[in-house]
Amino acid sequence: MKKSYIVIGVIIVIVLGIFLWFKGSYNQMVGRSEAVSAQWSNVENQYQRRADLIPNLVNTVKGYAEHEKTTLAEVVEARAKATQMQVNFDNLDAQTIQKFNAVQGELSSALSRLMVSVERYPDLKANENFRDLQAQLEGTENRIAVERRKFNEEVQSYNKYIRFFPQNIVAGMFGFSSKPYFEAAEGTEKAPEVKF
């Protein structure tokens, strides 16, 4: 009789240990997934901040640079595309991030062309509003880079955790899958060619 109590006690301890391990692993995966989601929101917030600055920049440039209507229209169109693209984190995959990155890249490219064209207007470059907006845009671009880096760090931590054995068993049972990284846009690995 005493041996059967010991065996039952050992079985209960083993079952309880397995349950607690599963619970801990599952909760850890949920927490890491939520951290990735929160960091994705931070990335989107910085892109939204940039999109919110653009109308003020365009209006400031309009007053000084009448001949830059095409460039301004490109910036406005790229901003519209960027703000129309909505990303659902639950469906976040490499292809979605690539599309998001491409749309944001178009906006960055249009802004770069605008900033280059502004060089021809010394009065605009001297305008305090323009300088403030330019500084805010530069700061926002830096924030975007920081948030993207943090996002990739969170994704790395999450992906590594769910791929380790034996957590990979729990991840497979409950549908946790790897999250994609933000990668540099295609072609950025080559330095631009400068010709004079």
CB-CB contact of 25 with 158 (8 Å): no
Q: How far apart are CA 50 and CA 79, in angstroms?
A: 9
Q: Residue 175: left if φ>0, alpha if ψ -120 to 50, beta else—which one?
A: left
**102 touches 158 (CB < 8 A):** no
For the chain, 196 residues long, the average pLDDT of each consecutive 10-residue run is 87 94 94 93 92 87 75 88 85 86 90 83 77 88 93 95 92 91 63 40
Residue holding tokens 């790229």?
78
> Are the C-beta atoms of 151 and 44 separated by less than 8 Å?
no
Question: CB atoms < 10 A from the CB of 82, how many?
Answer: 21
Alpha carbon 71 to its chain centroid, in Å, reads 27
Domain spans of the chain, in order of start: 2-174
The total of other beta-carbon atoms located within 10 Å of residue 99's CB is 12
| H or E stretch at 147 | helix 128-163
Q: What is the pTM of this model?
A: 0.78
> For the chain, how many residues are written?
196
Output the six-digit token pair for 59.
Answer: 């209006």
> pLDDT tens digits for 81-137?
888 888 888 878 888 888 898 899 899 988 888 888 877 777 777 778 888 888 888
Q: Are 178 and 84 in contact (CB under 8 A)?
A: no
Identify the CATH class of 2-174: mainly alpha
